[in-house]
Structure formats: C-alpha cells, structure tokens
Copies of this chain bind each other. A is one copy, B any other.
C-alpha cells in the first residue's frame, strides 16, 4: 500500500464529465489499496471569468479580495469531485486550503507556503477516505485566504506530498510528460523517462511549461519523486527524481526556447560602482522582469551593457532607460524586439567540456548569429533572431542526439 498524491489541472476537470472520468481513475488507484490525496485546480476558464468580473469592480482589484474570489474556483471542483467519488460508492472528503491549514505568507495572489499541518489529512486518510484538496490556495496567520499564483496547484501537490512523506506525487496534465524539445517544433522530440530535479528546474525556468518551477524546487528540497503524465492516457510519463548515474550518461537532456523577448543595449556607459543599481532598480520597481544581463568591458572606464525583457515591456523599458541615461551618461541606447532565447540543459554538462562550443558551432553552421550568451553549470542559453528559433531548436536537438532512434523516419 502506497500513499499517493495526484494533481489534476484545469483542463482535466473542465466539465462534469471530465470530473467524473478523473474520479473513476483515482478510484481505480484507491481500489488497488493505495491511500489517495487528490489536488485539483479550478475548472478551465473559471479563473479568467473571475478576473474579468473583478476588473468590472475595480481598475486594479484588491489583492486580498481577488484571492477570496479566485479561491472559489477550486472550492467548486473539490466539492463536485468528492460528490463524484461518493456517487461511485467510495468515501471521500473535500478540504480547502484553510481546512488543511496550508499556512502562507501575506503576499496575496502570489503567496508562498510556510507550513502544512498534516493532521487533518492523516485523520481522513486513516478513515479510508479519498481526500480531495483544493489546490492553489492557503491561509495566513490572520485567517485571510491567499492564492499561490500561476501553477500554484502543482506547488500544493508537491507540498502535501512532502508534508505526508508520500511515496509519489503524480502531476496529471494535458501532455504525456517532459520532452527533449517542444514536439510542435521537433517532430522527433522524445519523452524523457527520468530527469533530475536540477535539470527540470532549468527547463522549467527556461519556458517548458509542464511543471511549475516552485513545485520542482520543493520536490528537490524534500526529495519528493514527481511523476508528470497525461490525464487522458495510461502511458508512463516523466519521473522527476534525484540525479542518478544513468542520467549522467546523457550530456544534454533537452532543448528549450522562449520567444517574445526584447533586447536593450546601453553603449559606452561609465563603469562606476553602483551604475547597474541605478539602471535596474527603477526598472524592477516598475514591475518589469529583466531576464539576461550581460556586461562587456570596453577600453578605458567604459562598458557596454545589454539585457532582455519581455517584448510587451519593451517600449516602457526603453523609455525608462533613456531617462536614466540622461543622468548617468552613455554613448547611445539601442534595442530590438523579435529575439528569442534558445537553451540546452543537462546535468551531464558538468562533466563534459566543450558542450557550449559545440552549441555555438551548430548554430553557426546553420547561419544563425548569436546575439547574447549566458551559461550556468547545467545550461547554455543563446539569444538569436526570433525567426531562427525553430531552426535552432531542431539543429541542436539533432546534433545532441536527443531525438527518437530513427529521426529520419520521424521526419
């Protein structure tokens, strides 16, 4: 008998029929003798509906009240799901974030979990009930409802699995697992069977949207084995687990990309202490997320500084930068939208020299100019013109041997 936490996203519980189908699936697992905790998201579309309603009330909806509103989405699904299980003849009970006592900080709409009291969960599990928990939500010390932000239900699931020392945490989604590349770009992309927490962290942060990055961090910290798989098939998905020898034999685990970025360059800035802070503090205060930052030294005490932001923030950011430059001095400010970041990730890169160089030569061979480079221990990212994204991903995917055994056939 195992203790299993299963999480189903909004598309998996999008309507009454799907809720009943998922209930049957969970029930099957319970009938095998497992203790089951089910974490659910709101029905697909509900969150957008609530946001639209809120915006009719207040231009910038109050975050505390936004959380009260949003939390109803999961509350509806857990109640319906518990009924569906009971309708199928098995006992079940729904629990909301505050009933589980998922305590969070007070950062409404993007709260972080501080602690979980597993007593209630264990009590109901010991009574033989399937415990159905509302994902995405928690409660502050002051009893205010909070939500955990996009992808929050993944975090709830992994946090519950950690608190219960569950045998596994299964994240059910609308794809079959984590792939070596986006299957829409590489038609020979291969599902990864096992991937380390660290590699998954890099993939998640680089744009592979299968699993929320915070949940991967939690899983790593508490050593929770996470199984990402499809709601709509029985096929095994991808296991996200501790690094093992088998993985190291794979130098590169996957290729990922992120479009819709923009680049801004400040040329010949005076390189004095505090210069970077004077540039980036106002930008971050305006809520603009800066991704890559690269600084090159020029002759003299001058430096060139380049960074990337989301395309949608480009105009606003360049306006701010021009104001800043007027006070700190620089030769010129240039920039462009329409760039993309292409990355290779793999824990095996730690022990292999020359992976970055190999990436650069693959891109060069395809005639793709590299505008910026950024590396970590297990990742190399290159910024290229957006139109080359798919070409770059496919070339790297093939060059590092990530495709199916017979890529020629797949193509």
How distant is the Cα of A57 from the Cα of B65 in the complex, in angstroms? 30
| Residue A19, interface by CB 8 Å | yes
A75-B72 contact given A16-B56, A59-B87, A87-B59, CB 8 Å threshold: yes
| Residue A362, interface by CB 8 Å | no
| Residue A78, interface by CB 8 Å | yes
Closest beta carbon of chain B to A290's beta carbon, Å? 31
Cross-chain contact A86 with B58 (CB below 8 angstroms): yes
Cross-chain contact A57 with B96 (CB below 8 angstroms): no
A68-B78 contact given A53-B16, A143-B99, CB 8 Å threshold: yes
Cross-chain contact B82 with A65 (CB below 8 angstroms): yes
Closest beta carbon of chain B to A382's beta carbon, Å? 44
| Residue A20, interface by CB 8 Å | yes
A41-69 interface with B by 8 A CB criterion: 50, 53-54, 56-59, 61-62, 64-66, 68-69
A83-B62 contact given A53-B16, A69-B75, A75-B69, CB 8 Å threshold: yes
Closest beta carbon of chain B to A295's beta carbon, Å? 43
Cross-chain contact A86 with B69 (CB below 8 angstroms): no
How distant is the Cα of A66 from the Cα of B143 in the complex, in angstroms? 23
| Residue A279, interface by CB 8 Å | no
Size bracket, chain A contacts = 35 or more
| Residue A320, interface by CB 8 Å | no
| Residue A93, interface by CB 8 Å | yes
| Chain B contacts for A57, CB-based, 8 A | 16, 19-20, 80-81, 83-84, 87
Cross-chain contact A83 with B61 (CB below 8 angstroms): yes
Closest beta carbon of chain B to A186's beta carbon, Å? 41
| Chain B contacts for A81, CB-based, 8 A | 57
| Residue A410, interface by CB 8 Å | no
How distant is the Cα of A348 from the Cα of B19 in the complex, in angstroms? 58
Closest beta carbon of chain B to A182's beta carbon, Å? 35
| Chain B contacts for A19, CB-based, 8 A | 57
Per DSSP, chain A at the interface is: helix
| Residue A160, interface by CB 8 Å | no
Which of B65, B87, B98 is close to A83, meaning CB atoms less than 8 Å apart? B65
| Chain B contacts for A144, CB-based, 8 A | 99
How distant is the Cα of A62 from the Cα of B93 in the complex, in angstroms? 10
A114-147 interface with B by 8 A CB criterion: 143-145
| Chain B contacts for A62, CB-based, 8 A | 82-83, 86
Which of B54, B59, B75 is close to A80, meaning CB atoms less than 8 Å apart? B54
| Chain B contacts for A145, CB-based, 8 A | 96
- A204-247: CB near B (< 8 Å → 1, else 0) gives 00000000000000000000000000000000000000000000
Cross-chain contact A66 with B79 (CB below 8 angstroms): yes
How distant is the Cα of A87 from the Cα of B50 in the complex, in angstroms? 16
A58-B87 contact given A64-B93, A65-B82, A79-B65, CB 8 Å threshold: yes
23 contacts between A and B (CB under 8 A): A16-B56, A54-B80, A54-B83, A57-B81, A57-B84, A57-B87, A58-B84, A58-B86, A62-B86, A65-B80, A66-B83, A68-B75, A68-B78, A68-B79, A68-B96, A69-B76, A69-B83, A71-B75, A72-B72, A72-B76, A75-B75, A98-B98, A98-B143
Interface set of A (CB-CB < 8 Å, partner B): 16, 19-20, 50, 53-54, 56-59, 61-62, 64-66, 68-69, 71-72, 75-76, 78-84, 86-87, 93-94, 96, 98-99, 143-145
7 smallest beta-carbon distances between A and B, as pairs: A58-B87, A57-B83, A69-B79, A72-B72, A68-B79, A58-B83, A16-B56
